Amino acid sequence: MSGATSAGNAHQRWKTDPDTVERDLVKLVLTIVELLRQLMERTAIHRVDQGDLSEEQEERIGVTLMILQERMEELCERYGLTMDDLNLDLGPLGSLLPREF
């Protein structure tokens, strides 16, 4: 009987509705893209601080990162998500994405 109860609880935690699965998949993909975007942004800031880039390169990277941020916001809006929804809670480790400054 406990096996049936466990299966029932697992079903409640894991939603199998096709709309939910699609939204959750989009959320996961956007979370990964946002993590990469933030890493690229930090790398760019570090390179600017180090003086590794020309003014033209700085401008191009800045524009690219701004466009990527806008596209992320558009995709979140399309799927009914917020940027905060992408910040997965990792329990005792804290959140996946650092808070924006």
Q: What is the pLDDT of residues 12-62, one digit of tens each?
A: 455 667 777 888 888 889 989 988 988 888 999 999 999 988 999 999 999
CA pair distance 37, 41, nearest whole angstrom? 6
The answer to whether the pTM exceeds 0.75 is no
Give pLDDT, residue 9.
Answer: 45
What band does 67 get if pLDDT is binned at 50, 70 and 90?
Answer: very high
CA pair distance 29, 22, nearest whole angstrom? 11
Structure tokens at 97: 């994405």
Is the sign of the CA dihedral 10, 13, 19, 21 positive or negative? negative
Give pLDDT, residue 20.
Answer: 79
